[in-house]
Structure 1
Amino acid sequence: MKGLIGGYVRTIDGLSDIVGYMAAALIFVMGGVLMFDAFTRNVIEMPVHWAIEFTQFTLAAYYFMGGAMTLKNNEHVRMDLLYGTLSPRGQTKMDLATVGCLLFYLGVLLAGSISSLQYAIATGERRFSIWNPSVIPIKALMTACLVLMMLQAIALVFKHVAALRDGGTETAEGTR
């Protein structure tokens, strides 16, 4: 792919990789917080009340942030009962159809996340707990990551269309 569409695909792929690697680093953050919690609770007997909830928020961020890279690297879940029997061109056509369904699904999720974020901002929504954190940051991250996933899905459409134009032997993920 060349030109504007190729530049778009390369840019979104690169952005998805950056955000995905940032998500991978969150595993270490979660592990560190949980070890800190275990230490304060069991060794010095002064439990911190925010550690588990912070880890839950971090895990949610991990899932949201890893979505676009998962799409880009073709590491998502797929039912291979029918898909594996198709020719490379047939698989590319199936991928193109499922990306269309994915875009619809992501659009519905994005509309809901925008509405939820607007509500959280308008009401200053907080979690009801001892720590009482604001949910605005995680809802904003969810919305931004859904936008990135939609942009990545659009990049997949371009890759699949290019693969079909090239005869179907070259796919969005490379040569089959």
Structure 2
Amino acid sequence: MKILRGFITAIDGVNYYTGRVVMYGIFVLMAILLWSSISKTFFLPSLWTLEMAQFVMVAYYVLGGPYSIQLGSNVRMDLLYGEWSLRKKAWVDLITVLFLLFYLGVLMWGALSSTAYSLGFWGSNPLEFFGGLLTGDQQIGRMERSPTAWRPYMWPIKAVMVIGIFLMLLQCLSELFKDVLRLRGEAI
């Protein structure tokens, strides 16, 4: 149980501070959109603003998700859930988080595959590619670029997605362990 509590404390801490930093990304998004409006009105329109706003929004959403789960501010069907006892809520949360972990595992595999593709890997096993990058057996190929006029590289935002999904997986494990502790009758 001490290991579970240590894991919960560590992951909750990482996601708390990540979420607190990332929540200011909304101001970055506002600045980009403000510049977009100003440049379209008074100057030549900027090519980068729309796509950069999309990238910032993706980072804001994906990196802020674990913080939202941690605070319990995610959307729930409160019609029945709100009236249940803490023990019943823990059982339901324990079961539903298992489905979420499966979904996030599939999402992580897709994100890893997409990130490997954006770095020029054409094979079917992204873990082999990233392992090869670490050992020096693999090289980065022709990097994927966006098909827009701005043509930014795609790997940075895809790497942010991998990090965000990984943090969400860890936060879901933390929530699972919290439910286990609740079911054992221990305070969290």
1:127 aligns with 2:146: yes
1:90-101 superposed matches below 5 A: 90-101=88-99
1:65 aligns with 2:67: no
- Supply the RMSD in Å over aligned alpha carbons: 1.5
* 1-structure distance, mates of 2:78, 2:24: 31
Instruction: Name the TM-score, length of structure 2 as normaliser.
Output: 0.84
Q: Answer with 56-65 or 29-38: which moved more.
A: 29-38
Equivalenced residue count is: 167
CA drift at 1:112: 0.7
Moved over 6 A (4+): none
Q: Percent identity?
A: 38
Q: For residue 53 of structure 2, what is the amino acid of its counterpart?
A: T
* 1-structure distance, mates of 2:22, 2:64: 6
Q: For residue 157 of structure 1, what is the amino acid of its counterpart?
A: L
* 1-structure distance, mates of 2:4, 2:65: 22
1:1-176 superposed matches below 5 A: 3-43=2-42, 45-122=43-120, 123-166=142-185
* 1-structure distance, mates of 2:74, 2:31: 28
CA drift at 1:12: 0.5
- Give the gaps of 5 or more residues in structure 2: 121-141
Q: For residue 170 of structure 2, what is the amino acid of its counterpart?
A: L
3-state SS of the aligned residue for 1:82?
A: helix
* 1-structure distance, mates of 2:85, 2:151: 54
3-state SS of the aligned residue for 1:128?
A: coil
